[in-house]
Amino acid sequence: MTAYSLFPFADYWWFYGLFTLGVLGLLALDLGVFHREAHEVKVKEATFWSVAWISLAMLFCWGLWQYSHWKFPQDPRLLAAGMTAAAAAQLADQTALEFLTGFVIEKALSVDNIFIFVLVFSFFSIPAKYQHRVLFFGILGALFFRIIFISIGSALMQWHWVIWLFGGFLVLTGIKILFAPEKPIDPEKNPVIRLLRRVIPVTPQLEGDKFFVRKSGILHATPLLVVLVFIEISDIIFAVDSVPAIFAVTKEPLIVFTSNVFAILGLRALFFLLAGVMHKFWALKYGLGVILIFVGLKMVWLNDAFGGKFPIVWSLGIIAGILLTSVAYSLTFRKSPDPIPAPVQV
């Protein structure tokens, strides 16, 4: 373990820039070419894109592993610290595993977002062919807010008391998921949605795939914009959990940033793949609560108990085991799906 960043921003600013441009290029290709025409995303298409995004993340993980094995043995700071070639290779392996574990955590926690998406789209009666467009712009906003949260988190993690604060928050959040009664979601009562309606008039019905329309010279928002705003609010709330969770695995901002981005990029495809069967995985929510408790305990106790770093292989195995157990339990002990909220007129 090192006392400094292995990928300092001052040395890797160019990578952050190229990575961000590459992600924006992929998103532009996605919307401008593959989804130019609004259409319902079927399971086959969603499966293809899910595999594509996950494969891209694994390719990046492999590239990070290869680069780390090349870079670390000749890093002047590691050499000055007396690190041997064998220790540098072990550090490179750990770096790749940290990315993989962070990606799995973010992917798992994003399942909660999918529950919200299903309910909100049903609540506002958004046709399937327009849902991809809403999620596309929702992901753009999510990337923007994650960059802000990660930047703030990287700065705050320099103080040990912040680590305890984040860890305690994650433990309490996990306990709340496990034991607190679940409250029904009602976007109509959301203060931001109410404020939006006061700022700009909202049309009572959809206007194709448009977020804004002009009627009688007056700019109106459409229900699609209302849904987009609610999805952005939901992601900000979930980011409060997910960003501290990955800092329990790694302190490297580059790994936190890239694993978050790859998890978010595949969120749309995962939604269309699982939306129709989410009710079958009812126990997954409790598994996510256990994962939050575990990563919180890593921050406040386990890392210190294991000499500053809880073994990353153990972390990955525990998290994967919790997820698989939750899925298996859900499929073994079926539960009646919760009623879908009645659609409303915006």
DSSP state string for 145-196: HHHHHHHHHHHHTTSHHHHHHHHHHHHHHHHHHHHSPPPPP-GGG-HHHHHH
Beta bridge partners, 215, equal: 218
Delimit the domains of the chain by residue range.
Answer: 41-184+224-332
pLDDT value at residue 343: 47
Asked whether the beta carbons of 85 and 69 are under 8 A apart, the reply is no
Rounded Cα gap, residues 119 and 206, in angstroms: 18
| Cα(232)–Cα(216) distance, integer angstroms | 29
Q: What is the pLDDT of residues 45-64, one digit of tens each?
A: 889 989 999 999 999 999 99
Q: Is 212 in contact with 196 (CB distance < 8 Å)?
A: no
Cα–Cα distance, 319 to 300 (Å, whole number): 17
Q: Are 105 and 246 in contact (CB under 8 A)?
A: yes
d(CA 41, CA 215): 31
Instruction: Find all residues with CB under 8 Å of 27, minimum gap 6, and list them.
Output: 136, 139, 140, 265
Q: Quick check: helix, strand or coil at residue 2?
A: coil
What is the rounded distance in angstroms from the CA atom of residue 254 to the CA atom of residue 262?
12
Q: Closest Cα to residue 124, out of 209, 236, 205, 208?
A: 205
CA-wise closest residue to 243 among 150, 336, 313, 327 = 150
Q: Which amino acid is located at 72 in the chain? A: F
DSSP bridge pairs for 269: none
Where the chain has pLDDT below 70, the residues are 1-4, 32-36, 184-185, 336-346
H helix runs in 189-300, sequence order: 191-199, 223-247, 253-265, 267-274, 284-297
Contact 314, 141 (CB under 8 A): no
Q: Give the model's pLDDT for residue 211.
A: 92
Query: What tokens does 316 get?
Result: 């990955």
- The helix or strand, by DSSP H or E, that contains position 89, with its residue range, turns out to be helix 85-123
What per-residue confidence (pLDDT) applies to 34? Answer: 66
Q: Are 239 and 112 in contact (CB under 8 A)?
A: no
Cα distances (angstroms) measured from residue 246 to each of 107, 136, 305: 11, 24, 19
Q: By CB neighbour count within 10 A (0-12 exposed, 13-18 middle, 19+ buried), where does 342 fall?
A: exposed
**Helix (H) or strand (E) segment spanning residue 61:** helix 43-71
Phi, then psi, of 309 in degrees rounded to 5:
-155, 110
Q: Count CA within 13 A, CB hemisphere, residue 9.
A: 8
Provide the pLDDT for residue 213.
93
Residue 37: per-residue pLDDT: 72
Task: State pLDDT tens for residues 256-267.
Answer: 999 999 999 888
Token duo for residue 259 = 């694993």
pLDDT score of 99: 96
Q: Which tokens in the block code for residue 187? A: 């976007």
